[in-house]
Amino acid sequence: MNTMQELFSLKGKVAWVTGASYGIGFSIASAYAAAGATVIFNDLNPELVDKGLAAYKAAGIGARGYVCDVTDEAQVNALVARVEREIGPVNILVNNAGIIRRVPMIEMPAEEFRKVIDVDLTAPFIVAKAVLPGMIRAGGGKIINVCSMMSELGRETVSAYAAAKGGLKMLTRNIASEYGAYNVQCNGIGPGYIATPQTAPLREPGHPFNDFIIAKTPAARWGTPADLEGPALFLASAASDFVNGHVLYVDGGILAYIGKQP
Ligand code: NAP
Ligand code: GCO
């Protein structure tokens, strides 16, 4: 029987958080390192990877960084082969890398819609597909897909993102269904509105969205990347071995709340 500390320990595990030079991914990776995992991350270019390595080093974390575009299956497969050769199988995958384009649907070129789907939905498929064989050989693993409020709700200008994140919820459920028998648990984590570069445009002084989100959030504040660390650790640890196909929303209560009366 595991002790509570063992239940939440990632000691001896290899954890890959995609797109984790900063933002939510950086926080999740930092939490995993603190729980004992060997952390790897990737980003689109050497400058971002170096920026991430410096940030991890400053936090006392010996993370390993790689240049890899998660939409490029050849790059992903090559990285997984290298990690499995040099470190070992990926035990924990967090599909965190993502983009958003805020454009009214009738003004959005199909190519831009496809780009968002490619990064936010096809890439999680590509990366999960690449690490699953190693997880199966290792006797199991954890896949955590970073979903969104837009996995459940729509709003103006985010048609591509909502379609991708809604699809990511169902991809999560399907991976859980298809690979649960191999002791793979695939769950989603659904951040609410979190203060990162991705939402910086919505948090500019005087932007009406800022007041809107405060009124829609029972916690009456924006989330921080650190708010995701505990829930992400739960989903990566033995504590969640019988949790599968679930999306854990970390939203301060937004999805439960009609919104503050004006
Ligand atoms: P962010 O600040 O924009 O960071 C996203 C990271 O992903 C960046 O490092 C980015 O690199 C990287 N990335 C983008 N495309 C990539 C690709 N093709 N290959 C490799 N890396 C790539 O976003 P965030 O706010 O931390 O969000 C992280 C995840 O949480 C995303 O999936 C987002 O949709 C989701 N999310 C965010 C919020 C929120 O309120 N912030 C809420 C719910 C869900 P570049 O810097 O080069 O673009
Ligand atoms: C937006 C925001 C949201 C957040 C997040 C909410 O424009 O509505 O960017 O989409 O990024 O996904 O959970």
pLDDT tens-place string over residues 180-239 = 999 999 999 999 999 999 999 998 878 899 999 999 999 999 999 999 999 999 999 999
Pocket test for ligand 2, best of 119, 120, 159, 199 (most atoms within 8 A of CB): 199
Question: Does residue 153 lie within any of the structural domains?
Answer: yes
Domain that holds residue 247: 4-195+226-252
What total number of domains does the chain contain? Answer: 1
Provide the pLDDT for residue 204.
Answer: 86
Position 93 in a domain: yes
16 within domain boundaries: yes
- Decide: 103 and 157 in contact? Cβ < 8 Å: yes
Using CA atoms, how far apart are residues 244 and 249, in angstroms rounded to an integer?
14
CA-CA distance, 124 to 110, in Å (whole number)? 20
Name the residue of 101, 119, 148 whose CB sits within 8 Å of the most ligand 2 atoms, as the mutation to test its pocket: 148
**Is the residue at 84 inside a domain?**
yes
- The residue behind tokens 């979903």 is 147
User: Using CA atoms, how far apart are residues 193 and 199, in angstroms rounded to an integer?
Assistant: 8
Kindly state whether residue 88 falls inside one of the protein's structural domains.
Answer: yes
Q: What is the pLDDT of residue 262?
A: 84
Active-site residue set:
161
Q: Is the CB of 98 under 6 A from ligand 1?
A: yes
CB 175 within 8 A of CB 246: no
Does some domain include residue 135?
A: yes
CA distances from 92 to 135, 164, 167, 184, 231 (A): 9, 22, 21, 10, 14
CATH of the domain at 43: 3.40.50.720
The predicted pLDDT at position 158 comes to 98
Nearest CA to ligand 1 atom 41: 194
* DSSP H helix total and E strand total for the chain: 9, 7
Q: What is the pLDDT of residue 1?
A: 63
Ligand 1 neighbour 69 (Cβ under 6 A): yes
State which ligand 2 atom lies nearest to the alpha carbon of 165.
12
Residue 208, in any domain of the structure: no
> Ligand 1: does its nearest atom lie under 6 Å from the Cβ of 70?
yes
Q: Show the low-confidence residues of the chain (pLDDT under 70).
A: 1
* 219/167 Cα distance (integer angstroms): 28
Answer yes or no: is 150 within a domain. Answer: yes
Residue 43 Cβ < 6 Å to ligand 1: yes
